[in-house]
Amino acid sequence: MICIFLFLCLITVTKLEDPCFTTKLIDDWRRSVANAAITGVCDNFLEEGWYRVISSAGELMPTECPIGGYRCGTTSPFWLSSNNVTGSLYPHNGNTVNRTTCRATFSGNCCDQTIDIRIKDCGCYYVYYLKHTTGCYSAYCFGDQLPCPDGLTSSTGFTPGCVNSSCSGIGKLKEARPIRCIMSCVTSRLFFPNKEAAEGDTWYLLVSLIG
């Protein structure tokens, strides 16, 4: 009996130590690379550790340079560099990888500073081991979508697939809308995680999934 109890304890401890169960969250859509409005996000005081990202704007660190900076709600955004990486940037099968993030600056430099991070695959999400940046405003980017424009809505409240909620269009389109929204969100997350927001292309994604 004690044996079983200890065994369960061990499992619990192991689980708690697994970075996948981190309680540190980053929940801030302004970090989206599609956000070009400066809103003062700064990771200068970010506590070092494993973070899970939760955002309807997307939860992956962008893998393309936000040229010229002034994106992700900050002046000098950090993005995930594929320099010196062979194979896939993101890990699979529960693995952890070491990766390098680069700082993009207003002067057009895509990598004037680097910070080493780690990424772990947790099945349906990733966790990131992050260290603080130096100087404000500089922060890590996550996601590539934006909130729906005023008057429009989607299943997440974010692009892609924002539609006029008071749409008086054809009945067929109305019926198709929820599926279209969900599918486009799912497919864009799964297959085009780092694609720039492609508004209005939702039908295309759905059709390509079926046929």
Ligand X SMILES: *[C@@H]1O[C@H](CO)[C@@H](O)[C@H](O)[C@H]1NC(C)=O
Contact residues toward ligand X (CB under 6 A) are 81, 83-84, 98, 100, 102, 111, 114, 118, 151-152, 164, 166-168
Among residues 172 and 190, whose Cβ is nearest to ligand X?
A: 172
**Helical spans, DSSP H, in the chain:** 2-17, 171-191, 202-210
Among residues 89 and 152, whose Cβ is nearest to ligand X?
A: 152
- Dump strand ranges (E) for 43-185: 49-53, 76-81, 96-103, 114-121, 126-130, 138-140, 152-153, 163-164
Helix crossing, 171-191 with 202-210: angle to 10°? 80
* Residue 26, H or E segment: strand 25-26
Widest pairwise Cα distance in the chain? 66
Among residues 14 and 83, whose Cβ is nearest to ligand X?
A: 83
Please, what is the minimum distance in Å from the beta carbon of residue 209 to ligand X? 27
Distance between start and end Cα atoms, the chain: 56
Among residues 100 and 187, whose Cβ is nearest to ligand X?
A: 100
Among residues 26 and 119, whose Cβ is nearest to ligand X?
A: 119
Tokens 């990733």 — which residue?
126
Helix (H, G, I), strand (E, B) or coil at 111: coil
C-beta nearest to ligand X: residue: 151
Please, what is the minimum distance in Å from the beta carbon of residue 12 to ligand X? 25
Please, what is the minimum distance in Å from the beta carbon of residue 114 to ligand X? 5
Please, what is the minimum distance in Å from the beta carbon of residue 72 to ligand X? 18
